[in-house]
């Protein structure tokens, strides 16, 4: 095959670029996948960031949407080395008094632990969990004619609401705190419309299939996707950053796993003035400050449930989390930020040397922040796990600028590819009949800046590939 013998070129080998390339190759197209880094993966990479033998997930760490993804679930990834590990407690949410709320795989067990809010939790989540197999394609798809309209409308009536509004269903601190920790994954103030969606999707996914981690690190997901793509005849070239269309071989379809900013840099001269104007108005959200720790032992959380959970949401009450997220959106750095923490090595002993542990955590910060929040984040962990600092052997930190330097798609440290508020829910990245089409024939965007947005699910890439197949490849 020569350099011009491709039906499609995909730029960027993150989960969406990989999904797009696989979808096209499955359809009988000849596909070239280009990756700027030395390894594929995008947000799915694992490395020894601190000390030898300590393997840290650089970005994404826990994968409820990967195992729920309608696209990934159809692939024979187990044959290519994927093994998911499911903690018995998906997520725990500690409080200052040493107690914790939990999200367990069992809907009933989670609800029962919430006491007076047991029935309220069941009423909120049970319909969604029961309908999850029918709803997941619509939830993880572009806006259009749904497969199950009545079920989707019932979900949307709750999902489009602000998280604080839905929280009024609950009376207990435990239920309200657990809900707030889930909703804060939206990376928006909890008073914003659509923030309930993040909590509903993550909770339903947790009850339906769980919140797993990938054995050996998130890189193993990317490696399996890449190996499957190559087994179909696809070609991957790494160390191939793309800044211009002139760098590419000829193609019938070009799919770019990039955000609007990079899309404009690479192909902007091909676009109409109205499309360029829309892309220039695309908005990015909060950034993150991330720490990876090499530890001398497990994190000594006061709450037993936190020592058994793959993920821990640190933020105390709903009111405290709502305040910290509001402060970040207003451009401030909270003194007590909401912290997402994962402790993969408790369940995957390949992550650290014998008797040692790793931990992964980040908090939200104003977009583009350069401030060092190491001390503040470690104070928050210590607050719920006295003695934590004594177990730190080494740390690796990345501010928002470092995150963007690592992956240009993380503009200002925004790991979601752009804010997913009501203003960009239906116009992501621009108001068009298909969000994946650009204004230039044959050029498509397939990143998390398109529906359904951020997360390791590959559905942005899958849907973009289906659009390309219909438009120019069949």
Residues 250 and 274 in one domain: yes
**325 within some domain:** yes
pLDDT of residue 100: 98
CA atoms of 13 and 36, how far apart (whole Å)? 8
Please give the average per-residue pLDDT across 267-287, as a whole number: 97
- Domain-ending residue, one of 381, 406, 431: 406
The structure's pTM equals 0.96
Q: What residues have CB less than 8 Å from 457, skipping those under 6 apart?
A: 15, 65, 66, 68, 69, 71, 72, 140
203-239 b/e (C-beta count within 10 Å ≥ 16 → b): bbbbbbbbbbbbbbbbbbbbbbbbbbbeeeebbbeee
CATH number at residue 431: 3.50.50.60
Determine the average pLDDT of the residues in 131-141. Answer: 91
> Is the CA virtual torsion 396, 400, 404, 409 positive or negative?
positive
At residue 147, the pLDDT reads 84
Residue 2 belongs to a domain: no
| Weakest-pLDDT range from 90-104, 138-152, 165-179, 424-438 | 138-152
The predicted pLDDT at position 286 comes to 98
Same domain, 276 and 245: yes
| Residue 358 and residue 463 in one domain | no
* Residues in Cβ contact with 334 at an 8 Å cutoff, skipping those fewer than 6 apart: 323, 324, 327, 328, 363, 376
The CATH number for 195's domain is 3.90.660.50
Cα–Cα dist 51/398, whole Å: 16
Structural domain that includes position 65: 8-47+56-82+215-282+416-473
The token duo for 188 is 């928006």
Residue 470 DSSP code: I
On whether residue 154 sits in a domain, the answer given is: yes
Pairing between strand 56-57 and 46-47? antiparallel
Q: Is 342 contained in some domain?
A: yes
- The larger pLDDT score, comparing residue 2 to residue 401, is at 401
Non-local (6+) Cβ contacts of 400 within 8 A are 287, 288, 289, 365, 366, 367, 368, 369, 370, 410, 412, 413
> Is 163 in contact with 179 (CB distance < 8 Å)?
yes
What pLDDT is stored for residue 4 in this prediction? 55
Query: Which residues fall within 8 angstroms of residue 389, CB to CB, at 6 or more apart?
Result: 378, 382
Quick one: 179 and 262 in the same domain? Answer: no
Cα separation, 247 vs 100, in Å, equals: 53
Give yes or no: residues 227 and 180 share one domain. Answer: no
Tell me the pLDDT tens digit for each residue of 14-61.
999 999 999 999 999 999 999 999 999 999 999 999 999 999 999 999
Residue 474: which pLDDT band, with cuts at 50, 70 and 90? confident
Q: Are residues 258 and 295 in the same domain?
A: no
- pLDDT one-digit tens code per residue, 210-256: 999 999 999 999 999 999 999 999 999 999 999 999 999 999 999 99
- Same domain, residue pair 343 and 391: yes
Q: Is the pLDDT assigned to residue 89 strictly greater than 70?
A: yes
- Whether residue 1 is contained in a domain is answered as no
In a domain, 300, yes or no: yes
- Residue 86 confidence (pLDDT): 98
Q: pLDDT category, 5, cuts 50, 70, 90?
A: confident
Q: Are residues 237 and 277 in the same domain?
A: yes
- Tell me how many domains the chain contains: 2
Give the separation between CA 10 and CA 33, rounded to whole angstroms: 5
Average confidence (pLDDT) over 127-150: 88
> Hunting for tokens 């033998």 — which residue is that?
53
Could you give the strand order of the β-sheet that contains 357-365, starting from the edge strand earlier in sequence?
100-103, 89-94, 309-314, 339-342, 357-365, 287-295, 392-398
By DSSP bridging, strand 31-34 and strand 287-295 are: unpaired
Residues in the chain: 474
Q: Where among 354, 375, 406 does a domain terminate?
A: 406
**Which H/E stretch holds residue 108?**
helix 107-112
- As a whole number, the mean pLDDT across the chain is 96
Q: Specify the pLDDT at position 2.
A: 46
Would you say residue 1 has pLDDT above 50? no
E-only strand ranges, 24-95: 31-34, 46-47, 56-57, 84-85, 89-94
> Are 300 and 373 contained in the same domain?
yes
Asked if residues 412 and 368 have their Cβ atoms less than 8 Å apart, the reply is yes
How far apart CA 230 and CA 275 sit, in angstroms, is 34
| Residue 467 sits in the same domain as residue 344 | no
Q: How many helices (DSSP H) and strands (DSSP E) are in the chain? A: 16, 16
Residue 95 pLDDT > 50, yes or no? Answer: yes
Specify the pLDDT at position 22. Answer: 98
Residue 3, in any domain of the structure: no
Structure token pair of residue 221: 């997901």
Q: In the numeric block, which tokens belong to residue 141?
A: 């798809």
Q: Is 241 left (phi over 0), alpha (psi -120 to 50) or beta?
A: beta
Q: Of the residues 406, 426, 443, which one is the last residue of a structural domain?
A: 406
| C-alpha triplet 237, 240, 244: angle, nearest 5° | 130
Residue 225 lies in a domain: yes
User: d(Cα 363, Cα 343) in Å, to the nearest integer?
Assistant: 15
**Residues 175, 392: Cα–Cα separation, whole Å:** 32
Is residue 273 domain-shared with residue 291, that is, in the same domain? Answer: no
291 with 278, same domain? Answer: no
């Amino acid at each position: 095959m020569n350099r011009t013998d491709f039906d499609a070129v995909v730029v960027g080998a993150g989960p969406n670029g990989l999904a797009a390339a696989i979808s096209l190759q499955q359809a009988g197209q000849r596909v070239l996948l280009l990756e700027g880094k030395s390894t594929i993966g995008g947000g799915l990479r694992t490395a020894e960031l601190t000390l030898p033998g300590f393997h840290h997930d650089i970005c994404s760490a826990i994968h409820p949407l990967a195992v729920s993804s309608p696209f990934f679930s159809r692939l024979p990834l187990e044959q290519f080395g994927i093994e998911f590990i499911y903690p018995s407690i998906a997520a725990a949410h500690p409080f200052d008094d040493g107690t914790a709320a939990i999200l367990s795989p069992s809907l009933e067990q989670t609800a029962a632990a919430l006491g007076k809010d047991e029935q309220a939790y069941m009423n909120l989540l049970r319909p969604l969990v029961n309908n999850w197999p029918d709803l997941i394609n619509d939830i993880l798809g572009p806006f259009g004619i749904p497969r199950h309209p009545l079920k989707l409308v019932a979900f949307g009536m709750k999902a489009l609401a602000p998280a604080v509004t839905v929280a009024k269903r609950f009376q207990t601190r435990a239920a309200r705190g657990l809900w707030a920790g889930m909703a804060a994954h939206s990376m928006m103030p909890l008073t914003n419309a659509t923030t309930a969606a993040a909590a509903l999707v993550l909770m339903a996914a947790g009850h339906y299939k769980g919140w797993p981690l990938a054995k050996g690190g998130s890189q193993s997901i990317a490696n399996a996707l890449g190996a499957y793509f190559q087994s179909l005849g696809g070609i991957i070239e790494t160390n191939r950053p793309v800044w211009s269309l002139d760098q590419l071989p000829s193609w019938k379809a070009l799919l770019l796993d990039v955000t609007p900013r990079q899309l404009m840099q690479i192909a902007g001269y091909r676009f109409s003035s109205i499309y360029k104007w829309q892309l220039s108005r695309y908005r990015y959200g909060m950034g993150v400050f991330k720490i990876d720790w090499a530890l001398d032992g497990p994190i000594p959380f006061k709450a037993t449930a936190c020592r058994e959970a793959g993920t821990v949401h640190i933020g105390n009450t709903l009111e405290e989390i709502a305040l910290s997220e509001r402060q970040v959106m207003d451009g401030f750095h909270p003194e007590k930020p909401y912290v997402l923490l994962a402790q993969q090595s408790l369940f995957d002993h390949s992550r650290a040397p014998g008797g040692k542990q790793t931990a992964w955590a980040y908090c939200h910060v104003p977009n583009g922040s350069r401030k060092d929040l190491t001390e503040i984040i470690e104070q928050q962990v210590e607050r719920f796990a006295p003695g934590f600092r004594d177990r730190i052997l080494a740390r690796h930190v990345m501010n928002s600028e470092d995150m963007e330097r690592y992956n240009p798609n993380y503009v200002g440290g925004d790991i979601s590819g752009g804010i997913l508020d009501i203003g960009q829910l239906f116009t992501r990245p621009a108001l068009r009949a298909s969000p994946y089409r650009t204004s230039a024939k044959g050029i498509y965007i397939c990143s998390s800046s398109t529906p359904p947005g951020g997360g390791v699910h590959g559905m942005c890439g899958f849907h973009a590939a289906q659009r390309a197949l219909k438009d120019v490849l069949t």
